[in-house]
Structure 1
Amino acid sequence: MNAQVYDQYRKTSVETLSPAKLLLMLYDGALNFLSNAKKAIEEKDIPRAHSQIVRAQDIVVELMATLNMDIPLSNQLYALYDYIHRRLVEANIKKDPAIIDEASHFLRELRDAFAQAAREAGRSRIPNNTEAKKLNIMG
Structure 2
Amino acid sequence: MAMKNPYQKYQDNSVNTATAGELTLMLYNGCIKFIKLAKKGIEDKNIEVKNTNIQKAQKIVQELMVTLNPEVAISQQLMPLYDYMNRRLMEANVQNDSSILDEVEGLATEFRDTWKQVIQLNKKPTAAGADSSVSG
TM-score by length of 1: 0.84
Deviation of 1:106 after TM superposition, in Å, equals 0.5
Residue 134 of structure 2 corresponds to: none
Gaps of 5+ in 2: 130-136
- The ranges of structure 1 where at least 4 consecutive aligned residues each deviate by more than 4 angstroms after the TM superposition are 4-9
Residue 71 of structure 1 corresponds to: 72
**2: CA distance between counterparts of 1:7 and 1:39?**
25
Q: Which has the larger radius of gyration?
A: 1
Give the percent of matched residue pairs that are identical in Structure 1 and Structure 2.
Answer: 40
Farther off after superposition, 35-44 or 14-23:
14-23
**1: CA distance between counterparts of 2:118 and 2:15?**
21
Gaps of 5+ in 1: 127-139
Q: Which aligned pairs between 1:14-93 and structure 2 lie closer than 5 A?
A: 14-93=15-94
Q: Which has the higher helix share?
A: 2
**2: CA distance between counterparts of 1:113 and 1:6?**
28
Residue 107 of structure 1 corresponds to: 108
Aligned length: 126
Deviation of 1:2 after TM superposition, in Å, equals 1.2
Letter in 2 for 1:33: F
Deviation of 1:16 after TM superposition, in Å, equals 1.4
Aligned Cα root-mean-square deviation (Å): 1.7
TM-score by length of 2: 0.85
User: 1:7–1:39: structure 2 CA closer, same or farther, 3 Å change rule?
Assistant: closer
